Amino acid sequence: MLMKIIKTSAKAALLSSALLTIAVIGIVNPINFYFILIPFVSIIITFIISVLMIVVTIVPFDILKNKSFTNKAIFNTYFPFYAISFFTICSLLIINFNLDEFYIMVFSIAYLTAMPTWIWFFKPSKKIENEK
């Protein structure tokens, strides 16, 4: 389980760092030396945030898993509610911060990273697929 959390967090950190870098390119003008540091610093921060968010929001669903309740069943049952809830929370936070460009960027990246994280976390491993 720990390796699954670390692998998924690493993928989420790479995705969110890439999205953040692309978003910052549009904001920062002209690009200077410090711009080069953004991907390296952001990957550390986003990895820590990704681990925390996966442990808090996704792992509890994995704990529910048993022999009759597979990864696919968990994904199909709970993902739609998670997606709707997370979208609503991100939207309300964006509105709460008066549609500020920075907060739109942060919460959009959080949402766009959270959705594939579910897929990566609950996707059956190749070992399990080969055993069937």
Q: What is the pLDDT of residues 44-64, one digit of tens each?
A: 888 888 888 888 888 888 887
Range(s) of the domain holding residue 48: 2-127
Residue 132 falls within a domain, yes or no? no
**What pLDDT, on the 0 to 100 scale, is given for residue 85?**
92
**What pLDDT, on the 0 to 100 scale, is given for residue 93?**
92
- Hey, what's the torsion of the CAs at 52, 58, 64, 66, to 10 degrees? -110
**What pLDDT, on the 0 to 100 scale, is given for residue 92?**
94
**What pLDDT, on the 0 to 100 scale, is given for residue 95?**
93
CA distance 107 to 122: 23
1-40 pLDDT per residue, tens: 788 888 888 999 889 888 888 887 777 666 676 777 777 8
Q: What is the mean pLDDT of the chain?
A: 83
**What pLDDT, on the 0 to 100 scale, is given for residue 29?**
66
Percent of the chain at pLDDT > 90 equals: 13
Residue 102 falls within a domain, yes or no? yes
94-119 pLDDT per residue, tens: 999 998 888 888 888 889 898 999 88
Mean pLDDT, residues 74-100: 90
**What pLDDT, on the 0 to 100 scale, is given for residue 128?**
52
Residue 39 falls within a domain, yes or no? yes
Classify the phi-psi angles of 65: left when phi > 0, otherwise alpha if psi is within -120 to 50, otherwise beta: beta
Q: Number of folded domains in the chain?
A: 1
**What pLDDT, on the 0 to 100 scale, is given for residue 89?**
92
Helix, strand and coil content of the chain, in percent to the nearest 5, comes to: 85, 0, 15
